[in-house]
Amino acid sequence: MQAKAFNFIPLKVSSPVIKQLPPVHAISIPDRARGDISIAKVPSQEVSSSTQDEKITAYWDYQFLFVSQRTETVNPVSLRIVEGSIPLDFPLGTYYLTGPGLFKDDHGSTVHPLDGHGYLRAFTINGAKNEVTFMARYIKTKAQVEEHDHKTGEWRFTHRGPFSVLKNGKKIGNTKVQKNVANTCVLSWGERLFCLWEGGAPYEIESSSLDTLGKFDLMIDSVDNGSSTPSTKECYEKKGGVDLLDLAASILKPILYGVFKMPPKRLLSHYKIDAPRKRLLMMSCNAEDMLLPRSTFTFYEYDSSFKILQQQEFIIPEHLMIHDWAFTDSHYILFGNRIKLDILGSMTAVCGFTPMITALSVNPSKSTSPIYLLPRFPEHEGGRDWKVPIEAPSQMWVLHVGNAFEEKDGNGNKQIQIQASGCSYKWFNFQKLFGYDWQSGRLDPSMMNVGKGENKMLPQLIQVSIDMDVSGNCEKCCVNPVNDEWDKATDFPVINQAFGGSNNTYVYAATSLGGRRELPNFPFDTVVKFDTVKNSTQTWSVGTRRFIGEPIFVSKGSHEDDGYLLVVEYAVSEQRCYLVILDAKKIGETNAVVARLEVPKSLTFPLGFHGFWAAADSKM
C-alpha cells in the first residue's frame, strides 16, 4: 500500500492564562441571571497594547462565550435587522441550534460545557415579510426537571455528568452520571423535531412552542414494530470455548445499567441523511464497550415515518471512540479513534473524586489510524474482509465529518473520498476539552490555543482518499489537507445537504485567521469556503472580539453553492448575539453579508454546538 502522510506538528502548550491573571479575575464562569457580569472587572472595549491587559481581555472574552442564560423565550420575539434585509427568495423555514445553556448552579457547582443543560434556540425566517423571529427554551430532560425548581427558578446540580465533578453536592457514592442533557445535535425529520445527546435517547420537541414532549427511543420503537430482524457480524475469536470479553461484559452490565443507569445501547448524537433515498441513518454503541477492548456498533436506517428499513450490528476487536461518522452508497465509514482504559482514573472516577471521563484516555500505541469500511447492504458486501481496517498513514483523532462519497472507473476500481476535521492525538485531551478545569471549575483558553508553527496539532480540515481495486482491496490511502496552503485551525465542516454521499465541490467550515495573539486558534472568528476542485479558499470574518459557531447551508436552487449560510455571531465585546445571513456564492467578497439581525441583549446566549435548517416545505 502506498501512502502519503498528513503530518501533525508536536505541541508545546503555553502556561495557562488563568494562572497569570490577578485574583480579581479568578472567579468561576459568570451567570447572567445572577449578575456576575456586572460585578466583574471586565476590560474596556478597546484592547490594550500591554501583554498583561491583552491576556486579561482574552480570558474574559472566552468566559463570556460560556455565560449561562437562564431566561427562556416562550413567545416569539422579532429580531431587529441592523444590516441588509432578508432576501425575498430565502426559503421559509426555521434554523434550530442546540447547545448548553447553563454552566453554574446556585450552590457553588459548575459543569463542563458538554454537561450543560440543553438550550434550544429557534430562528424562524420569512423572506416575504422581511422578518426573523426568535425563541429559546430549555429541553426538559429528566435531569433538568430534577435540577431546576420551576417555581423558584433555583438550580441545584445533583448529577455529576461524564465531564464534571460537583463542588457543592454529593460526590462520593454519587452514581448520577448519566446526565442526558440533549445539548449536542438537533434534527427535524418526518415532521418531528428532536434534540440529541451522545449517551441517551433523543428528546422530542414540539416545533412551534419548543415544549418538550419527552424521550423518543428510536432503537426500541423501531425494532419493536417488526419491520426488521437485526443481523450480527462478529469479528472476535473465542478462547477455549469461553469469550473473556463476554464474561467481562456480563460483570459490567449490571453495574452500568443498574447502578449508573446507563442505557444498554448508547445512541450517538450525529446522524446522517441519505437525501436520494430519503433515509435517516443513525448509529449506536454498547455502553459496556467503553470499558472493554472491543466495540459494538449498530446502524439503523429509517424512512420518514420512523419505520426501520435496515439494522446491522458490527463487533470490532478494538477499543474505539466514535463521535461522528460517514456513509456512502455502499459503506458505513468509521474513523477509529483509539482509546484505552485508565485503571487509576477509573477507580477515582467511580469513587466520585474525578470525572467519569478520566477512566479513558487516548491510545497512541500505533502511528496509524484505522478506517473501517462496513458493508451498508449485506447483499453487496463484495470480496473485501470488512474486519480488516484500512490503516491511514497519520495518527489523527477525527472530530467531525463533512461528507464522504465513492466513485467507480470503467474497470470497476473504486475511490472513496472523505472530508473531515481531524486533530493530533497529542493535542486531544478528554479532560481539557474547551479548556475546562474540573478541579477549579474554570475555563482556560490556553488549552485550545497553541503558538505559531504548531497549528497542525489542532483540528484541521482533511481529505482522505482510499483507492480500491475491483475486489475491494486497498491499493492506496492518502491523508491530505483539503487545501494545500490552508493551515488554520478549522472545524465544523458542512456542505449542501442535498449533496451528502455524492461528489461535492464545496465545503464550508468555521476557522480562525489567527489575528489575536492570545486566542489565535479558538474560538473561531471566520467562515471559510473550500473549493476542492480549484484548490482554493475564500473567507468571511466577523471582526475584532467577535466569534462564530458552526455555519449551516440553506439551499435555494439546484447548483451546489446556490444558497445562503447561517451563522451566529457572538459579539463578546458587546455581550450580544447576532444571526448573520451570508450569500454562499459571495464568500470572500465585500458584499457577502445579506442580513444581520440582533438578538435582544437580555436573551444573549452561550456558544451553541450543532444546528439544523428545517425548510417549511420539507417532507422528509
Among 177-186, 254-263, 427-436, 581-590, which stretch is predicted with the lowest mean pLDDT? 254-263
Q: Are strands 308-316 and 231-233 parallel, antiparallel or unpaired?
A: parallel
As a whole number of angstroms, the distance between CA 239 and CA 95 comes to: 52
pLDDT for the residue 161: 84
pLDDT for the residue 380: 64
Is there a contact between 441 and 110 (Cβ–Cβ < 8 Å)? Answer: yes
Per-residue pLDDT for 225 more than 90? no
pLDDT for the residue 347: 80
pLDDT for the residue 19: 45
pLDDT for the residue 354: 86
- The domain spans of the chain are 2-615
pLDDT for the residue 260: 60
Give 104-124 pLDDT, tens digit per residue. 999 989 999 999 999 999 999
Is there a contact between 323 and 335 (Cβ–Cβ < 8 Å)? Answer: no
As a whole number of angstroms, the distance between CA 618 and CA 437 comes to: 42
Q: Is 25 annotated among the ligand-binding residues?
A: no
Give 71-99 pLDDT, tens digit per residue. 999 999 999 999 999 999 999 999 999 99
pLDDT for the residue 256: 61
Give 309-349 pLDDT, tens digit per residue. 999 999 999 999 999 999 999 999 999 999 998 888 878 87
pLDDT for the residue 277: 93
Indicate whether this model's pTM tops 0.85.
yes
Per-residue pLDDT for 425 more than 80? yes
Per-residue pLDDT for 307 more than 90? yes
**Burial 117-156, CB ≥16 within 10 A → b, else e:** bbbbbbbbbbbeeeebbbbbbbbbbbbbeebbeeeeeebb
Which residue bears the cell 451567570? 31
pLDDT for the residue 531: 97
Mean per-residue pLDDT for 135-154? 95
3 state DSSP class of 461: strand
Per-residue pLDDT for 451 more than 60? no
* Grid cell in block for residue 302: 429509517
Give DSSP secondary structure letters for 510-571.
Answer: EE----SSSSSSSS--EEEEEETTTTEEEEEE--TT-EE---EEEE-SSSTT-EEEEEEEEE
Give 236-291 pLDDT, tens digit per residue. 444 444 466 666 666 566 556 655 666 778 889 999 999 999 999 999 988 777 77
From the list 10, 13, 7, the residue with the least C-alpha distance to 426 is 10
Give 9-21 pLDDT, tens digit per residue. 333 333 344 444 5
The DSSP secondary-structure symbol of 58 reads: H
Sign, CA torsion 238/241/244/249: positive
Per-residue pLDDT for 585 more than 50? yes
pLDDT for the residue 244: 62
Q: What is the 3-state secondary structure (H, E, C) of 325-386?
A: CEECCCEEEEECEEEEECHHHHHHHHHCCCCHHHHEEECCCCCCEEEEEEECCHHHCCCCCC
Is there a contact between 373 and 386 (Cβ–Cβ < 8 Å)? Answer: yes
Among 5-14, 212-221, 444-453, 523-532, which stretch is predicted with the lowest mean pLDDT? 5-14
pLDDT for the residue 179: 87
Q: How sure is the predictor about 178, in pLDDT bands with cuts at 50, 70 and 90?
A: confident
pLDDT for the residue 289: 78
Per-residue pLDDT for 228 more than 80? no
Among 154-163, 285-294, 382-391, 554-563, which stretch is predicted with the lowest mean pLDDT? 285-294
Mean per-residue pLDDT for 208-222? 82
Per-residue pLDDT for 226 more than 80? no
As a whole number of angstroms, the distance between CA 469 and CA 1 comes to: 12
| Mean pLDDT value across the chain | 85
Give 360-386 pLDDT, tens digit per residue. 899 999 999 999 999 999 776 666 788
- Angle at CA of residue 521, ends 519 and 526, nearest 5°: 100
Per-residue pLDDT for 3 more than 60? no
As a whole number of angstroms, the distance between CA 342 and CA 361 comes to: 6
3 state DSSP class of 29: coil
Per-residue pLDDT for 414 more than 70? yes
Q: Is 610 annotated among the ligand-binding residues?
A: yes
Per-residue pLDDT for 455 more than 60? no
Rounded (10°) CA dihedral 249, 255, 260, 266: 20
35 vs 67, more confident: 67
As a whole number of angstroms, the distance between CA 582 and CA 482 comes to: 22
CA 112: distance to chain centroid? 15
Is there a contact between 448 and 459 (Cβ–Cβ < 8 Å)? Answer: no
Give 6-61 pLDDT, tens digit per residue. 443 333 333 344 444 543 333 345 676 654 443 344 444 444 458 888 889 999 99
What count of Cα atoms within 13 Å lies in the side-chain half-sphere of residue 185?
Answer: 21
pLDDT for the residue 369: 93
As a whole number of angstroms, the distance between CA 353 and CA 368 comes to: 34
C-alpha dist (Å) from residue 463 to 224, 322, 534: 39, 18, 14
* Grid cell in block for residue 281: 441513518
As a whole number of angstroms, the distance between CA 24 and CA 167 comes to: 21
Per-residue pLDDT for 573 more than 50? yes
